[in-house]
Structure 1
Amino acid sequence: MAKLRKITVVSQRVPYPPNKGEKLRTYHQIEFLTQLGYCVDVLCLGENTQDSADAKELGKKLDISVTVFPLPHKVKRYSWALLHRQAISVGAFYSSALQKEVNARLINGCDALLLSASSLGYYVFNAANYDDRTCALFMDMMDVDSDKWRQYAESSSLPMSVVYRRESKRIKRLEEKANKEFEDTFLIAKEETRLFEKTVSAFKPVKVLGNGLDFSAFFPAPTPANDTNFLFTGVMDYKPNVDAVMWFVEHCWPTVKQRLPGATFTVGGMNPTKEIQQLSERDQAIEVTGFVDDMLPYFHKATAFVAPFRLARGVQNKVLQAAACKLPVVTTSMGAEGISYASENTMYIANEESSFIDACVDCVKKTDTAQQLADKAYSALYSTYSWEQQLQPLKQALERI
C-alpha cells in the first residue's frame, strides 16, 4: 500500500446513486478502494444539472474528489464518432475536456487509472502522453460489449443490424488492445472471460471481478406475499430488458393468467419505453412503475421473480437481488449466466415457452418446492456475494503494482 496511493477512476456516468447496473458496480468499487485507504479521484461525464448534484453527493458521501465533464449535444457526439471512424459508444461518451484531463493524469497525475468501460479505452489510446505514461492502467469491461453488439445485430433488421455490426467490430478493437497493453482487464464472470478468450483475444488472461450485493438494501420480506404477483425489474429502455419483458408478455403471460386467475405482473424500473408503458394500458393485470425511489417493497410483495433474458450477457444484478429477498426465480439460461450458484437446485431455469410457463405456475401451486429453491439460493448468495469478497481481485491487482 505504501507505494500506491492515488487512483483515478474514469466513468461513463456519475456512479451515484447506485441504482442501475454500471453505476452500482463502479460505486461499490470506489467505496471499496476508499475503505482500503486509497486516495480516489473520479472523472465522469454528465448531461444535466442532476448529474452535477449527484456528483456532489457522491463526493460528500465518500469524501473524494468527483469531477463532472459536460457532454456536448448527442448529434455532435455521434457525428464526431462517424467522422473519426470510432464506435458510436465512444462518441456517446466523448468530451475533449476529459481527454485533456486523462492526458495529464497519465504522467505523474496518479498511480493507477481505472476505466469503467471498454469504450473509455479511446481516451487512453488517443492521449498524447500514452507512450510516456507513468501510471498503471486497468479496465473493468464488465461484459464483453463487442458480443452484446453482435447479438443486437443478429436480432435486428436493416439498417440497425449494420449499425450494431459496425459497433461490435470497433469495440472489439478497444477490448483487444486493452487486454494486450493494460496491466489488467476485468470481466464480471468466468463465462465472460471464456467468451473473451474465444472471440476477442487470448493474449493474456482476463480477471474475473464479480458483482456483490448490499444485504442491508435487499433482504427477505417479514411475511409472505398474499397475492400472486410476478416481478421484473431493470432500466426499461435497455434493449435486453425490453426484449425480456416483451417476450414474457407475448409468449408466456396469457397462459400464466389463464392457469393462475388473479395473477399480476409488475415491471419495475426507470425510463420505460412507449412499448413497455402500453402494456399496462392493454392489460389491467400488468403494472409498469417507472422510476421508484425504493424497489424493495416490490420484491417483498412478489411471489416470484422472472428473468426471461434472450439478449446480452453478464451477471444480472436483479437476479441476485431477488435471491437476497428469498424470492423464487424463474429464468432462462442467459439470465442465470455468470451466477456461481445457479443451477436447477437453486432456481427454475427454462428456455422454452412451455417450460417457462410451467415454472411460473409451480411457484404458486408448489410453494414448498419453490421456497426450497429460494432458500438454497439465498444461502449460497449470502456466503459468497458480499462486495468485499467479490472485489478481492481488484485489491490484489493493485497490490502487485
Structure 2
Amino acid sequence: MKDLLFLAHRAPFPPDRGDKIRSYHVLRHLARDWRVHLCAFAEQAAEEELPPELRAELASHHIVRRTKPMPVAGVQALVTDKPVSLTAFAHPGMTRAVADIRARHPIAATYIFSGQMAQYRGAEPTIMDMVDVDSAKFASLAQTAGPGMRSVLKREARLLGRYERYVAQSVAATLFVSEAEAALFRSGGGRGHVLAVENGIDAAHYDPAIVDPGEYDGPLIVFTGQMDYRPNIDAVTRFAEHILPLVRKACPAARFAIVGRAPTPAVRRLASDAVLVTGEVPDTRIWLARAAVCVAPLDLARGIQNKLLEAMAMARPIVASVAAAEGIDHGGTIAVAGDDPGFADHVIAALNGPVDNGAARARVLARYDWAARLAPLDRLLGKIAS
C-alpha cells in the first residue's frame, strides 16, 4: 500500500451533515487501498476522538481544534488581502501536523477536501475536492444581503473565486459533487482537469423496512438539515410563513416538523401548534419514516442535497425547489416546484396520495450506491500516483 494524506476542513465524523457525509465515505473508500493519514479540524470536543471503525482503518490521524474567532479571521483577511475562508482555517497546529506526516511518510498523493484546506497542499500529486463552488454561494448570498454585508460577501466571492481557479490549475484534478457544479466552475473561468464525482447514499442504513416510526401526530411534513445554516433557515422560514398556510387550508391537520441540530432563535420562533422544531435528534430516519411528505424549499442550494437522497432512500414522497433538485438524477420521483402556490399544490397532492414512494428508493439503489459513485477515484489516483 502507498501512503495518502487526507486533509479535511471538518473532522469527517460523525457523518451527520452534508459535507461530513461525503468526506466520511470518501475517506473510508480510500482506506481500502491506501495507507491513509488524516489531518482535520475539529469544531467541538466530540469530533476530537475517532470512532472505532476509522481508528482501525487509518494509518495515522491528527485532529486539530479550530478556535479562531471569525472577527480575528476577518481582520487577518483584510490585512493579507485573502478570503476569510482561508484565514479562518490558517492554523500553526495544522501546519505542523501536515509537515510531520510528510516528514515521516513517503506521501504518494494527497486528497484535499474543501477549498479551505488547499493552503496545506504540497508537491505530491493532489486531488482537490471542492465539493461545491463556494465562491458562487457567497455571490448568491450577496444578492439578498443588506448593504453592510453585501460588500463583505461580494469581496469573499471575488477573492475566493480567484483562489479556487488558481488552485485548480496547480493540482492533478479538481472534483465537484455534480456535473452542474463542475459546469458552473468552468463557466466562471475554472481550468485544469475538472470533473464531477457524485455523492452516494447508504441505502442499507436508510431503509424504511428497518425503521420504527413510533407514535406521532400526523400528517407530518418534514424538513431535515443543519439549522444554523443560512439557506436552511431561509427555507424553513419560507415554508412556515408562506407555504404551510396554503397547505393547511386544504389539509388543516398537517404539521411541519423542522428536524436538525442547532436551530437558531429565528428558527425556534417558528414553533407553533402547526410547526414543530425538534433540535438535534438521535436518528433522523425516524422522522423521515414519519413523514407523509419531505420538503426542500431551498432558494440557494449547491451540489447534491443529501437530505433528498436520504428521503428518496426512505421511499418518501418529496417536494423540492428547482435549486434543491438540481444535480439529482431523480427520474421524476421528486416533485419539483417553482413558486409558493405551486409548492403548496404539490405538498397537498402528496398528503392526499400514497405515503410510499417506492420508485424513489429504487432510483437510489440503481443510481446512488457509494461504491459505484466513488469508483472514479480509484482510476484517478491510480493514474496520478503511479
Same fold (TM over 0.5): yes
Deviation at 1:102, TM superposition (A): 3.4
Query: Is 1:301–2:290 an aligned residue pair?
Result: yes
Which residue does the alignment assign to 2:125? 136
Which residue does the alignment assign to 1:212? 200
User: AA paired with 1:62?
Assistant: E
Structure-2 change in CA distance of 1:246 and 1:184 (3 Å): same
d(CA) in 1 for partners of 2:112, 2:59:
17
Structure-2 change in CA distance of 1:234 and 1:47 (3 Å): closer
Task: State which of 141, 154, 164 in structure 2 corresponds to 1:175.
Answer: 164
User: AA paired with 1:216?
Assistant: A
Which residue does the alignment assign to 2:65? 70
User: AA paired with 1:235?
Assistant: Q
Which residue does the alignment assign to 1:86? 82
SS in 2 for 1:13: coil
d(CA) in 2 for partners of 1:46, 1:82:
25
Is the contact between residue 73 and residue 87 of structure 2 (CA under 8 Å) also seen in structure 1?
yes
Which residue does the alignment assign to 2:377? 394
SS in 2 for 1:9: strand
Name segments (4+ residues, structure 1) moved above 6 Å.
222-226
Deviation at 1:110, TM superposition (A): 0.9
Deviation at 1:205, TM superposition (A): 4.0
User: AA paired with 1:363?
Assistant: A
Deviation at 1:304, TM superposition (A): 0.5
Query: Is 1:44–2:40 an aligned residue pair?
Result: yes
**TM-score with structure 1 setting the length:** 0.89
Deviation at 1:226, TM superposition (A): 7.9
Per-residue CA shift, 1:96-133, capped at 9, x if unaligned? 22124435656764111111111222233xxxxx5xx2
RMSD of aligned residue pairs (Cα, Å):
2.0
Which residue does the alignment assign to 2:266? 275
Is the contact between residue 121 and residue 174 of structure 1 (CA under 8 Å) also seen in structure 2?
no
Is the contact between residue 207 and residue 393 of structure 1 (CA under 8 Å) also seen in structure 2?
no
Task: State which of 308, 315, 334 in structure 2 corresponds to 1:326.
Answer: 315
d(CA) in 1 for partners of 2:224, 2:43:
25
Per-residue CA shift, 1:198-246, capped at 9, x if unaligned? 0131x23411111111112211257899831100000001111111111
Unpaired segments ≥5 residues, structure 2: none
Is the contact between residue 37 and residue 101 of structure 2 (CA under 8 Å) also seen in structure 1?
no
Task: State which of 20, 23, 28 in structure 2 corresponds to 1:23.
Answer: 20
SS in 1 for 2:206: coil
Task: State which of 252, 260, 264 in structure 1 corresponds to 2:251.
Answer: 260
d(CA) in 2 for partners of 1:97, 1:120:
13
d(CA) in 1 for partners of 2:54, 2:208:
31
The 5 A counterparts of 1:126-275 are 130=122, 133=123, 135-201=124-190, 203-221=191-209, 227-275=218-266
Work out the percentage of aligned pairs sharing the same amino acid.
Answer: 28
Is the contact between residue 301 and residue 324 of structure 2 (CA under 8 Å) also seen in structure 1?
no
Which residue does the alignment assign to 1:127? none
d(CA) in 1 for partners of 2:164, 2:53:
29
Structure-2 change in CA distance of 1:258 and 1:64 (3 Å): farther
SS in 1 for 2:226: coil
The 5 A counterparts of 1:348-359 are 348-359=335-346
Unpaired segments ≥5 residues, structure 1: 125-129
User: AA paired with 1:50?
Assistant: A
Deviation at 1:28, TM superposition (A): 0.4
Query: Is 1:365–2:352 an aligned residue pair?
Result: yes
Is the contact between residue 122 and residue 174 of structure 1 (CA under 8 Å) also seen in structure 2?
no
d(CA) in 2 for partners of 1:98, 1:109:
19
User: AA paired with 1:366?
Assistant: G
Is the contact between residue 8 and residue 41 of structure 1 (CA under 8 Å) also seen in structure 2?
yes
Is the contact between residue 72 and residue 95 of structure 1 (CA under 8 Å) also seen in structure 2?
no
User: AA paired with 2:57?
Assistant: L
Deviation at 1:162, TM superposition (A): 1.0
Structure-2 change in CA distance of 1:92 and 1:230 (3 Å): same
Per-residue CA shift, 1:238-281, capped at 9, x if unaligned? 1111111111112101111121011111100111111001111x
Is the contact between residue 13 and residue 46 of structure 1 (CA under 8 Å) also seen in structure 2?
yes
**TM-score with structure 2 setting the length:** 0.92
Query: Is 1:118–2:106 an aligned residue pair?
Result: no
Is the contact between residue 62 and residue 97 of structure 2 (CA under 8 Å) also seen in structure 1?
no
Is the contact between residue 240 and residue 275 of structure 2 (CA under 8 Å) also seen in structure 1?
no
User: AA paired with 2:184?
Assistant: L
d(CA) in 2 for partners of 1:123, 1:24:
22
